[in-house]
Structure 1
Amino acid sequence: MQLRSWQVITLLVAASSLLAGVELPAGARLGTAGLSLASGVSALALMAAAAVLGARWTCVEVAFGGLDRVYLAHKWIGIWALGLASVHLLFKAGVPEWQTAAILELPKGWPRLLRQLSFLGLMFIVLLALNRNIAYGTWRWWHKLSGPLFVVVVLHWLSFKQPLPLASPAGAWLLALSALGIAGAAWKLLLYPLLARSAEYRVVSITPGAAAIHMELEPVKAGIDFQPGQFGFLRMNAQGLREPHPFTIATGKRGDGRIEFVIRALGDYTNKLVADARVGMYAQIQAPFGRFARHRSARREIWIGGGVGISPFIAWLKDHATGTLDSVTLFYFYTPGRDFPEFEVMRAMAEARGAELVGVPGGGGDPAFGERFAAICREGDPAGIDIAFCGPKGLTPRIREQMRANGVPDANLRYELFEFR
């Protein structure tokens, strides 16, 4: 069972609200002051969880079923933390009848300053994360402030007068979450660049395409171990290209340790990478990440790749350890004139492994997709078809439409989230 965003949010908010409410007089639990206190405790708990998710710890990735899911949960946890912090700021978290005391005494004026900085910093970080018009490099460096911001939030909790002593269950809950969150933030900001799984590579070939490149790299020393379909963070050792950026590894395991990436110019960083990458450049790759693995036990498989989302399926096609792929149909969604790899290249690759390739140049409504999908379902048991998808999320409703129309259970669809921001 994999964790979902709503499960984590619900659990943390419910536990925080319950523990905070236990410490209050019975008549104050349902008032605005009680609401403000519970919201503040919940916001801190969610921010701690966000810091843990941002650390890229392997155990967290396994629990969520892949780093792509971790990033999605990270985004929604941040949004809910901002909403609850807004409620906390709107109402005063205290009444004269409460027995209150600060855990950490600070000079006059500092508790109020920390309160304001906590809210404004959180609002800035969340809005920054949701604004897709900000250049990736700018976003990445500003987002590094989320770790120090969490420390400010913890100091705010410790310094304001509250009815939650450290010896209480609520105090112990907040202390444990704060320690875990600070550990996660410190790991990501200070230790991760030094201790992350990574290897140095050199670019040995670049094949240009329509606003895209196919890049092959060889390890300088030892390469990284990965499973076909996983991705890594590529950091080129060149001016303007040093930002680590996630790309699917578009190759199966090879004896020489070489790996490949299919990179399309879709934003500021990838535009520059496609234009400036050269043979002989060195790169650092942090990997592997992701849990988008092929279900080899399935009797019938449908793979659906859209745009650069074709990359994991290229890796599966090149994974010769799996034998023939005569039970596989690969739907390749592409824009004519911008297909990369080109359709004929993909056709030859599929034929070499015994897989069927269906080109879909007309989008989700293309009859080539619906007709062949329905025919596959009529050929056997629709409930036994495993469907793997990677591509723009706008295709997901179309795929689910075809599944429902042809009796394929919703649970049979597995997909890699296409966007990290």
Structure 2
Amino acid sequence: MRTWHTIVGILLITTCTLLLEIPSDTWLSSATLSLILGSAALAYMAVSCLLAARWGFVERLFGGLDRVYEVHKWLGIWALVFASYHMVFKANLEVWNSVPILEWSKYWTRMVRQLSYVALGLIVLLALNRNIPYSQWRWWHKLSGPLFVIVILHWLSFKSPIALDTPSGIWLTVLCALGVLGALYKLLLYPLVAKAGEYQVSAVKVEKSSLHLELTPLGQGFAFKPGQFAFLSMQEKGLREPHPFTIASAHSEDGRIEFVIRALGDYTQRLRKQVKVGMRADLYAPYGRFKRPLEGAREIWIGGGVGISPFISWLQDEAAGQFDKATLVYCYNPSRAFPSVDTLQGMAQARGVDFVANSGGTESLAQTLRRTAAQTDPQQIQISFCGPKGLLGQVRELMNECKIPEGNLHYEFFEFR
């Protein structure tokens, strides 16, 4: 499923079930639109809480946890947009014979209505504000579940034609129940249920603004596929917040895993300065569905900066098929290249993968795509990308120039927040 599938699908179901509850001659009124958008905002918040639980079946449905978080973000944004209209325009008409599901006094009904809008706005603004340090942002964002309960109370207490035993009432009740369950799971059970294992740092390599970590399991490691990622939580003060990092190694018998981390944010900078051999960490994994294309295709792998990590994992996968039709393009900043170009070139050559170093700009990348498109049918070229959004946009432009179909691009969102 794609983001727009979810947003439009929920809106359509909400609209259809609500229109069954009111006279058809009132469908085109501002009150009807307000009722629909307010109910859709509630449904969006419920599904957003469900997606945040990181349940496996949800990840499979959307094709990866990165896609889940993208949908989660846009559901919150559209919920705020819809709720703004709902807040301004009255969502009730006398001919509807509306009654509240919960009978409260006018004071508390009005108070919950106002608090629900403030709660939704607070959730979205906190989620999108990148200026808040992650350690603070994470704990503020945990309030999303309790704040969602306030929005549910607003739905139950205001006068509307929605009854619990009607199609719209059943639809909203099921979504809200799932949303509350997802929020409770993430808040209380996730740290206990989702942990893949306890690990110990066995090797640390620091270079410029980057960090290479090697961890060994204290017990049995977890199985993962090349290209997947894990949430890393160090058992040290100031480093306990779980952060997602792509696993930069293939599965090994001893369970050892590696991470290549760029120290760009407040957490990763602290991690780079404080991490030492012997420290312990909890891992929550595996997540992600960044897979190689079908065997036999002409492949171009494009890794931007630390986005090279999944391709390192692919190169180390002994169970993988042939690499003779693959080309790895490493887009890097010469002052911050990590791993080094020579290291990556050696790894690629050992597996028979063509290697292209693209330092600054996209000249070498463009030449590679044009040359490949001239030698191979563009319809048969599969491109795998992991890197910043800006570079992804340039890759799309080059694909269009070379007449490589958009559907042949496989990528993983570079950021969650």
Fold conserved between structures, TM > 0.5: yes
Whether the 8 Å CA contact 2:102–2:157 is kept in 1: the answer is: yes
> For structure 1, which segment, 98-107 or 177-186, has the greater mean C-alpha deviation from structure 2 after superposition?
98-107
Distance 2:155 2:78 in 1: 18
The residue that corresponds to 1:396 in the other structure is 392
The residue that corresponds to 1:17 in the other structure is 15
Aligned partner (choices 108, 111, 123) of residue 109 of structure 2: 111
**Is residue 2:360 matched to residue 1:362?**
yes
Tell me the secondary structure at the aligned position of residue 254 of structure 2.
coil
Aligned partner (choices 408, 411, 417) of residue 407 of structure 2: 411
> How far 1:124 moved relative to its partner?
0.8
Whether the 8 Å CA contact 1:37–1:93 is kept in 2: the answer is: yes
Whether the 8 Å CA contact 1:229–1:292 is kept in 2: the answer is: yes
Whether the 8 Å CA contact 1:334–1:363 is kept in 2: the answer is: no
Letter of the structure 2 residue corresponding to residue 135 of structure 1? P
Aligned partner (choices 213, 216, 223) of residue 215 of structure 1: 213
The residue that corresponds to 1:382 in the other structure is 378
Distance 1:338 1:331 in 2: 16
Count of residue pairs the alignment pairs up: 417
The residue that corresponds to 1:50 in the other structure is 48
Distance 1:113 1:157 in 2: 13
> How far 1:76 moved relative to its partner?
0.4
Distance 1:358 1:386 in 2: 16
> How far 1:91 moved relative to its partner?
0.8
Distance 2:345 2:302 in 1: 14
Q: CA deviation digits over 1:6-55, x for unaligned, max 9?
A: 11111111211222222122332221211111111111111111011111
> How far 1:96 moved relative to its partner?
2.7
> For structure 1, which segment, 277-286 or 93-102, has the greater mean C-alpha deviation from structure 2 after superposition?
93-102
Distance 1:28 1:194 in 2: 50
**In the TM superposition, what are the counterparts of 1:95-174 in structure 2 within 5 Å?**
95-174=93-172
Distance 1:302 1:58 in 2: 29
Tell me the secondary structure at the aligned position of residue 104 of structure 2.
coil
> For structure 1, which segment, 139-148 or 318-327, has the greater mean C-alpha deviation from structure 2 after superposition?
318-327
> How far 1:323 moved relative to its partner?
5.2
Whether the 8 Å CA contact 2:295–2:321 is kept in 1: the answer is: no
From the superposition, tell whether residues 40 and 357 of structure 1 become closer, same or farther in structure 2 (CA, over 3 Å). Answer: same
Tell me the secondary structure at the aligned position of residue 319 of structure 2.
helix
Distance 2:183 2:72 in 1: 13
Distance 1:201 1:141 in 2: 24
Distance 1:64 1:147 in 2: 22
> How far 1:130 moved relative to its partner?
1.1
Letter of the structure 2 residue corresponding to residue 386 of structure 1? Q
Distance 2:286 2:155 in 1: 37
The residue that corresponds to 2:64 in the other structure is 66
From the superposition, tell whether residues 229 and 219 of structure 1 become closer, same or farther in structure 2 (CA, over 3 Å). Answer: same
Structure 2 length-normalised TM: 0.97
Distance 1:251 1:238 in 2: 24
CA RMSD of aligned residues (A): 1.2
> How far 1:169 moved relative to its partner?
1.3
**Is residue 2:277 matched to residue 1:276?**
no
Q: CA deviation digits over 1:198-236, x for unaligned, max 9?
A: 200000001111211100000000111100100000000
Whether the 8 Å CA contact 1:147–1:185 is kept in 2: the answer is: yes
Q: Which consecutive unaligned segments of at least 5 residues does structure 1 have?
A: none
Distance 1:155 1:309 in 2: 43
Letter of the structure 2 residue corresponding to residue 58 of structure 1? G
> How far 1:321 moved relative to its partner?
1.7
Distance 1:404 1:11 in 2: 30
Distance 2:33 2:98 in 1: 16
Q: CA deviation digits over 1:289-344, x for unaligned, max 9?
A: 00001124133211000000000001011112225522211000001121000111
The residue that corresponds to 2:179 in the other structure is 181
**Is residue 2:372 matched to residue 1:373?**
no
> For structure 1, which segment, 390-399 or 401-410, has the greater mean C-alpha deviation from structure 2 after superposition?
401-410
Deviating 4+ runs (over 4 angstroms): none
Tell me the secondary structure at the aligned position of residue 109 of structure 1.
helix
Distance 2:398 2:182 in 1: 42
Distance 2:104 2:43 in 1: 23
The residue that corresponds to 1:333 in the other structure is 331
> How far 1:197 moved relative to its partner?
4.1
Whether the 8 Å CA contact 1:298–1:384 is kept in 2: the answer is: no
Q: CA deviation digits over 1:265-287, x for unaligned, max 9?
A: 11111111111111110000000
**In the TM superposition, what are the counterparts of 1:212-361 in structure 2 within 5 Å?**
212-322=210-320, 324-361=322-359
